[in-house]
């Protein structure tokens, strides 16, 4: 069948790669907390954040949380007061 309507490469897949859904953006956001994302992953997240306020909020909250956790981790009892 030369004219098979079913494309073996899958148009859906390529469309999904162009525009990630919320689930993937959440996944990438959390992944980015542990390790640096590739520029393609960042680009896809950014592209999605432009059109999705929910994920913009989510990303912002994750950033806040990370900042808070960092500041907690940095509060080591290092400062001695030699009074």
Contact footprint for Zn ion (CB under 5 A): 22, 52, 55
Measured from the CB of residue 3, what is the shortest distance to Zn ion in angstroms?
37
Neighbours of 20 (CB within 10 A): 20
Measured from the CB atom, is 16 or 70 closer to Zn ion? Answer: 16
Measured from the CB of residue 42, what is the shortest distance to Zn ion in angstroms?
15
Closest CA to 26 of 56, 51, 50, 4: 56
Phi, psi of 36, rounded to the nearest 5 degrees = -65, 140
Measured from the CB atom, is 28 or 55 closer to Zn ion? Answer: 55
- Tokens for 3, please give them: 């004219």
Measured from the CB of residue 25, what is the shortest distance to Zn ion in angstroms?
5
């Amino acid at each position: 069948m030369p004219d098979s309507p079913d494309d073996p490469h899958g148009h859906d897949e390529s469309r999904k790669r162009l525009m990630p859904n919320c689930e993937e953006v959440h996944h990438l956001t959390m992944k980015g907390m542990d390790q640096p994302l590739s520029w393609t992953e960042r680009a896809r997240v950014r592209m999605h954040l432009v059109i999705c306020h929910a994920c913009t909020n989510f990303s912002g909250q994750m950033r806040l949380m990370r900042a808070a956790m960092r500041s907690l981790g940095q509060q080591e009892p290092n400062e001695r007061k030699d009074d």
